[in-house]
Chain A
Amino acid sequence: MQILSLVVDATVILFAVYFFLRIRSKEKELQQKEGKIDSEYHEIVNTALARERKILDDATNEADKIISEAKYFNRGSTEEVNKALQMMVVDVQREATTAASNFLSDYQASLNQVSVKSLGGFENVVKELESDLRSQVKNFNEALLPGLEKELAEYKRIRMEQVDKSVRRIVQISAQEILNKAISLDDHEELVIAALERAKKEGVFD
């Protein structure tokens, strides 16, 4: 019985050792595969990086080339435009000067023409005005002046009357103010009786 037990135990241990060794070999195998894959990966990445770097370098070179060409072109264009503008300015100035000169000469010619024409007309107008003025003055002296003098006298008279009226009114108001304050009731009574006496003499009470 004990022997059987030992055999079984031994068998179990043998199986266990077998499986351990088998797992170990599998693990080594896997490690080898992993190492291979890793090296392949690194190779691929390095190759890609190298290509990328090359592409970038090519692109940079190309861009530099384009930029330098563009700069050249730009400088050239600016110079061309400036030159054209200067030419235009010169042309415009020349044309303006010519136009102004033409206008001035035309204007002077027209002015001379008008002056010559107007001078004759002006003399006529002056003569007409002079005769018209003479007749108006004559008319004024004969017809309007006496009327105006009369109106002036009437105005003076009215104004004088207004002044007289104002003076009377002012004096009356002043006298009223002063007398109303200055005269006592007894004085008033005496003046009323004196007034009655005068009225009696006039025959008011007859």
Chain B
Amino acid sequence: MYGQDFSDFFVTKLQANDFCGRISGISQQVYEAGFDLSARLAAEFGVVKRDKLMMLLREDGDLTDNRSIQKWLEKIISQTKLLPTVTLTVAFVPNDKNLKHISNWLLQNLNKQVLIEFNEDRSILAGARVNYNGKYSDQSVLTSYQKVLEKEIKAT
């Protein structure tokens, strides 16, 4: 399942943690009397996301018994936790559309889903400071701005 797109369910690290928490809750209820996976998924994520999850379940095999369902849920959790994270320091609070676009860019350019961890810092003005897998790049407008300003001050 690694490399599969979970961006319909979460794009940020925070959302992924929330997703894992809900799946874990469902997994613990598997052996309860009258357990209905479809109903529980719908209750936690809504009908649309429930259908997508059920489709993923079917793609992984005919999982009908409670034990295999639990294993599948736990596998989703462990795979989610293995997803890499990119930390972006930005100067704004992104909305769902912004999140989706940035997430899509990462998916298309890195060919895998990457969780985004946002840090808000308005002093960087715009752009982003990118931190991924131990590598760092400052692409903030503030840095460019400071370079220009420095040049101007030295020139005068």
Contacts and interface: CB of A to CB of B under 8 A. Distances in A.
Interface of A: 164, 167-168, 171-172, 175-176, 179-180, 183, 185-189, 191-196, 198-200, 202-205
Contacts of A203: 135
Interface stretch (B12-20, B25-33, B68-76, B92-100): B92-100
Interface string B130-156: 101101110111100110011001000
25 contacts: A167-B149, A167-B153, A172-B123, A175-B125, A175-B145, A176-B122, A176-B123, A179-B91, A179-B126, A179-B141, A183-B126, A191-B126, A191-B127, A191-B128, A191-B141, A192-B98, A192-B102, A193-B105, A196-B102, A196-B105, A196-B128, A196-B139, A198-B139, A200-B109, A204-B130
Nearest to B135: A204
Nearest to A164: B153
A191 to B, nearest CB: 5
Nearest to B98: A189
B55 interface: no
A188 B121 CA distance: 13
Nearest to A192: B128
Pick from A179, A189, A192, A196 the residue with the most CB of B within 10 Å: A192
Contacts of A175: 125, 145
B146 A168 contact: yes
A189 B94 contact: yes
Nearest to B92: A188
Contacts of B92: 183, 185, 188
Interface residues on B, range: 35 or more
A204 B126 contact: no
Pick from B95, B132, B136 the residue with the most CB of A within 10 Å: B132
B135 A179 contact: no
Nearest to B90: A192
A192 B98 CA distance: 10
B122 A193 contact: no
Contacts of B83: none
A203 B142 CA distance: 21
A193 B145 contact: no
Contacts of B146: 168, 172
A204 B137 CA distance: 7
Pick from B130, B133, B136, B146 the residue with the most CB of A within 10 Å: B130
A189 B92 CA distance: 9
Contact of A188 (B98, B130, B136): B98
B110 interface: yes
Given A168-B146, A168-B149, 10 more contacts: A185-B92, A189-B97, A192-B88, A192-B94, A192-B102, A195-B127, A198-B139, A200-B109, A204-B137, A205-B132
A45 B126 CA distance: 141
A188 B142 contact: no
